Amino acid sequence: MAAPRRDTRGIVDAPGLLARVRFRRHTPAEPLRPYLEHYWLIDWDLTEPYVSHVVPHPSVNIVFQRFEGREPFGEVAGIGLGLFTHELRGRGRVCGVQFRPGGFRPFAPGRAVSGWTGRRVPLAEAYPGTDPDVDAVLGPDGERDRVAALDAFLLRHGPRPDPQAALAMALADRIRRDRTIRRVGDFARSEGMSVRSVQRLFAEYVGVGPKWVILRYRVHDALERAESSSGTDWAALAADLGYADQAHLVRDFTATVGVPPTAYAQSVR
């Protein structure tokens, strides 16, 4: 595992969020690294409410959260199919675990990962009979102590070696890195698998189908391009991302983010 990513992919109006919160990523303990993207820590102290929006990655997260006026809690957050919106108020803290696509199953082998998709499940329900020790994660002011508490929690629950999880992570990672992958049938053939086998593997270990993963990374690319450059040639970008035409890109972007890409780019600038 390399150092944690430094990009803001998936965060809508990343500059606006980062101007209001302290956001950091950390590397987990060595035995956990094959399965995790990183830990992510957020703290805020706001005088005015702020609504954050995220286009979720095809990743399961475990999240420990403390919001002003609420008891601290932890939950398993399955892959979000739509835009995730949350209002931040007052003071708060979140400590999260982002698994690699396909990496969560070794920590919860009892069910297909698709069973978590679109759901947020309390840790007491996800891991019955265990103490999630939310305060141990959220309580310390020192970041190293919080990271150590996350390590300890995960190591109590896995990982259980699973060759199919390793295969699912490798396939999902190839989709993320290779933008020439545009059709599930071509992708399956290149891996020496049937389309049905790939779909079944993704349902069991990733939580969404391979076509969904391909489309989600396309939207992430378009979102990043809209934020990072002015005068984007959307027709050319649509072709680069494998869309049949600009209209299909606009449709997917609007359905996911809530506004067309040109309007979003103007609002960010």
Model confidence pLDDT, tens digit, residues 137-159:
999 999 999 999 999 999 999 89
Instruction: Give the pLDDT of residue 229.
Output: 66
Nearest-angstrom CA–CA distance, 40 and 149: 13
- When pLDDT is averaged across residues 252-267 and rounded to a whole number, the result is 85
Angle at 236 between CA 233 and CA 238, to 5 degrees: 105
Largest CA distance in the chain: 56
E strand segments, the chain? 11-12, 21-26, 36-45, 50-54, 61-67, 73-77, 84-88, 91-99, 120-122
**Other beta carbons less than 10 A from residue 30's beta carbon:** 9
Using an 8 Å Cβ cutoff, are 191 and 198 in contact? yes
Instruction: Please report, for the chain, the start and end positions of each structural domain, with discontinuous segments joined by +.
Output: 11-156, 163-268
pLDDT at 230 over 70: no
Q: What percent of the chain has pLDDT over 70?
A: 97
Q: Domain spanning 163-268: which superfamily? A: Homeodomain-like (1.10.10.60)
Domain at 11-156: CATH code:
2.60.40
Model confidence pLDDT, tens digit, residues 63-115:
999 998 889 999 999 999 989 999 999 999 999 999 999 999 999 998 999 99
**Other beta carbons less than 10 A from residue 67's beta carbon:** 18
Instruction: Give the pLDDT of residue 3.
Output: 67
163-268 has the same fold as 11-156: no
Using an 8 Å Cβ cutoff, are 204 and 198 in contact? no
Mean pLDDT of the chain: 92
pLDDT at 257 over 90: no
Is the pTM higher than 0.95? The answer reads: no
- When pLDDT is averaged across residues 7-26 and rounded to a whole number, the result is 91
Beta sheet of 50-54, edge-to-edge order: 11-12, 50-54, 84-88
Instruction: Give the pLDDT of residue 191.
Output: 96
Distance of CA 86 to the CA centre of its chain: 15
**β-strand partners of 61:** 77, 98
Instruction: Give the pLDDT of residue 163.
Output: 95
Model confidence pLDDT, tens digit, residues 24-69:
999 999 999 999 999 999 999 999 999 999 999 999 999 999 998 8
pLDDT at 4 over 80: no
Instruction: Give the pLDDT of residue 239.
Output: 87
Please report which confidence band the pLDDT of residue 262 belongs to, taking 50, 70 and 90 as the band edges: confident
Using an 8 Å Cβ cutoff, are 52 and 86 in contact? yes
Instruction: Give the pLDDT of residue 234.
Output: 85
Distance of CA 44 to the CA centre of its chain: 20
Instruction: Give the pLDDT of residue 63.
Output: 97
Q: What share of the chain is helix, strand, coil (3-state, %, to 5)?
A: 45, 20, 40
Instruction: Give the pLDDT of residue 269.
Output: 64
